Structure 1
Amino acid sequence: MTGRVSPAWVRALLAQPWVGPLVRLALVSAYLIGGIDKALHFHAAVAEQAHFGLHPAALWAALAVAVEIAGSLCVVLRRFTWLGAGGLGMLTVVAMRVANDFWHQSGVARFMALNSFFEHLGLIAALVLVTLLGDAQAIAAENRH
C-alpha cells in the first residue's frame, strides 16, 4: 500500500449509506442550529449584528438566517451544494473579519480570536472539500451512464 489509499476497513466504513448524510449534517450543524436560533430569537440576532458593526443590522440578521438555513439544507440534501457551501463560506469570511479580528487584540482575547479565526478557516476548507467531493461524485455518475 502506498499510503494514498485508506485501508479496506476504512473504505468499508465510509461506504456505509449513512456516513455521508451524517457527516454533511455534522459539518453544517453549527450553521443550521445558529440559523434556527436566530430565526426564533430575531431581536437577539439583530443585536448581535449591531454589536459587530454590521448595518443595517436587521438586514444582516435576515441574511444570516437565510444563508445559514438554506445553505445548510443545500449541503445536507446534496442539492446546489456549491451554492449552499459557497454562501456558508462567505458568511464565515464575514464572521472571521468582524468577530475574530485577532490583529486588533492582545493577550488572552487575541489568543482566543486567533484560534477561532483558524477554526473558521478550517470550516471554509471543509465546505470547499464537500463541494469538490460532490462534483467528483456527480461527474463519476454521469460517466457511468
Structure 2
Amino acid sequence: MVTISGRSNPAWVGLVLAQPWVMPLARLALVSAYLIGGIDKVLHFNDAISEQAHFGLHPAALWAVLAIAVEIFGSLCVIFRRFTWFGAGGLGVLTVVAMLVANDFWNHIGAARFMALNSFFEHLGLIAALVLATVLSDSQHEI
C-alpha cells in the first residue's frame, strides 16, 4: 500500500498516479470541454453570439467574447499550472453563470426539469474539481 497524508491507496493506484503523463492528461481532460468550446466559439463567432442571446445575456457579443477569453485562457492556465487559481476561478464563475441561465431546473417540469437538474449538479461537480485543481496546484507534488 502507498500511504499519503495518512490515507492508504493500493500500490498499483500509486504507481499509475506516479506516471509523469497522468496529471497533465487529467488537467487537460478537466478543462477539455471549455477549451474545445472556446475554440469552437472563435470558429463560429456568430453562433456564439446567438447562444448568448438565446440565454438572455446582453450585449450578446460582449458575453461571447468574455466566454471565449475565459474558456481558452482559463483552460491554458490550468493545463500549464500557471495562475491556476485565476484560470480555474474564471472557469468556475463562467460555470456558475451557465448553471443559472442554462440549467434553471426550477423553471421546468417533467423530463426537462430532470435533465436540467442533472446538468446543474454535474456542473457543480465540475466547479468542485476546479477548486481541487487549484488547491493541488499549490502542493509540492506535480499534479
Q: CA offsets per residue over residues 16-68 of structure 1, 9 Å max, x none?
A: 00001000000000000000000110000000000000000000000000000
Structure 2: gaps (5+ residues): none
Q: TM-score, normalised by structure 2?
A: 0.93
- State the distance in 2 between where 1:49 and 1:85 align: 21
Q: Which residue of 2 aligns with 1:75?
A: 78
Alignment partner of 1:42 out of 40, 45, 49: 45
Alignment partner of 1:121 out of 104, 124, 127: 124
Alignment partner of 2:90 out of 87, 91, 94: 87
Between the two proteins, the alignment pairs up a number of residues equal to 139
- Bigger strand fraction: 2
Name segments (4+ residues, structure 1) moved above 3 Å: none
- Bigger helix fraction: 1
Q: Which residue of 2 aligns with 1:53?
A: 56
Structure 1: gaps (5+ residues): none
- State the distance in 2 between where 1:84 and 1:126 align: 13
